[in-house]
Amino acid sequence: MKQDTANMVGVDISKSHLDAHRLRTGEAAQFGNDAAGFKELAVWIGTADCVVHEATGRYHRDFEEALAGAGLPLARANPLRARRFAQSMGRNAKTDAADAAVLARMGAALDLRPTEPPGRALRDLGDLTVAREALVRDRVAALNRRKGLRVSLLGQQCRRRLEQIDRQLRAVEAAIARVLAGDEGLSRRAETLASIPGVGKATAAGLLAAMPELGGLDAKAAASLAGLAPVARESGQWQGKRFIQGGRARVRRLPCMAAVAAVRHNPDLGRKCRDLIGRGKPPKVALVAVMRKLLLLANALLRQNRLWTPRAGDEPAAAPPAEAAEEAGGPSGLGEGSLGDRSQGPKGQPPARPASAGAQPPHGTSDLLPAPA
């Protein structure tokens, strides 16, 4: 698409107003971020190849719903990449009007394609799964805080808080189940994901909400979007270590405990993990590889619209305690910030590799991952 002829419209969204810029003519206008402003903006746009806007949390939701209802094609841009694009053009000024112009130019230069905004059921599922994850974090914090309480009043308040969290968790999980049951497509996709050993209902719902593209991507795109694809670091004859980076942090966190359960109860993934550790890979690197393989398996099953089945001769172990693992929130040291081989030995030296296939993994993972055969 030629940039000078592209009928692109950029819209910068703030809490109170919308700044719009039409690339072809250079026109600019401002509208209110409310129902009346959406109608005026739709009339002002008329027709467009694409309307490009940034993800702005809750402020873009009503905007997307209104303009999609008016039949306008929408593309949501990553705010960080939009800022980097502006800097690559030498534009350091940051105003709402300037950002709208940059978004229009970015849409034409990168040939951004319109995407369908999430439906009501998917939006509700996203809100509910985020709320559930927040409640799980609150419960972990309250349980940790209770261990050090010495005042009886504080102990009683902590106990009542934990009871309240449990009630709210049950209510949120029941609402998630109702949302899935009320949408045939989501229900089938959740059933497909939950059929994979190690993936429980909560993880399945979280993946559907955080990565609705799952099942419609190729393997490389899915791994990259989740931030589980190792990124090359090479220049000339120098070859650095590859690390995972970027992607959606929430999607990357979700399969962590599922991978821990899967290596024990999924024959294929268990062999993969033992093979990597046996070849000297650090256990956390092996865990990340299992997470990536688990995500790609979920992507393939959703694309083929079929449930997981064991290979001939493979029988999965007893059903893994996936829900219990999800509720636990994950082991210390296996969170988002520690994925990949980023550890260092004494005085900045590289970490020691296992001396043999029978070597024990470093502290913190030996009780989670299976020992090599």
Q: 117: Cβ–Cβ under 8 A, 6 or more apart, which residues? A: 64, 65, 68, 74
User: What is the value of pTM for the model shown?
Assistant: 0.76
Q: How many CA atoms lie within 13 A of 162 on its CB side?
A: 14
**Alpha carbon distance 162, 242 (integer Å):** 42
pLDDT the model gives residue 362: 37
Strand partners, 214: none
**Alpha carbon distance 63, 52 (integer Å):** 12
Max Cα separation, the chain? Answer: 72
The sign one gets for the Cα dihedral 80, 81, 82, 85 is: positive
The one-letter amino acid at 54? E
pLDDT the model gives residue 253: 87
The one-letter amino acid at 272? K
112, 117, 122, 123: CA torsion to nearest 10:
110
**Alpha carbon distance 198, 186 (integer Å):** 20
CB 190 within 8 A of CB 208: yes
Contacts 24+ apart (CB under 8 A), 304-307: 305/188, 305/192, 306/192, 307/191, 307/192, 307/195
**Alpha carbon distance 128, 133 (integer Å):** 9
- Distance of alpha carbon 344 from its chain centroid, rounded? 27
DSSP labels, 288-299: HHHHHHHHHHHH
* Averaged pLDDT in 10-residue chunks for the chain of 373 residues: 72 94 93 94 93 87 90 92 92 91 93 88 93 95 94 95 96 96 93 91 93 91 90 89 86 87 85 90 90 92 91 56 44 33 38 38 46 50
Report the SS3 class of residue 8: strand
Question: Can you read off the two tokens belonging to residue 70?
Answer: 């008016």
CB 311 within 8 A of CB 267: yes
Report the SS3 class of residue 191: helix
Report the SS3 class of residue 12: strand
Among residues 73, 66, 82, 63, the alpha carbon closest in space to that of 14 is found at 63
Residue 78: CB atoms within 10 A of its CB come to 12
Q: Are strands 28-32 and 230-231 parallel, antiparallel or unpaired?
A: unpaired
pLDDT digits (tens, 9 = 90+) for 112-129: 989 888 888 999 999 999
Question: Can you read off the two tokens belonging to residue 122?
Answer: 């998917």
Strand partners, 130: none
pLDDT the model gives residue 314: 61
CB 103 within 8 A of CB 11: yes
**Alpha carbon distance 135, 326 (integer Å):** 12
Give the CA angle between residues 45, 48, 52 to the nearest 5°: 85
Report the SS3 class of residue 22: strand
**Alpha carbon distance 365, 283 (integer Å):** 7
pLDDT the model gives residue 328: 42
**Alpha carbon distance 229, 133 (integer Å):** 25
**Alpha carbon distance 10, 107 (integer Å):** 8
**Alpha carbon distance 370, 96 (integer Å):** 53
CB 146 within 8 A of CB 158: yes
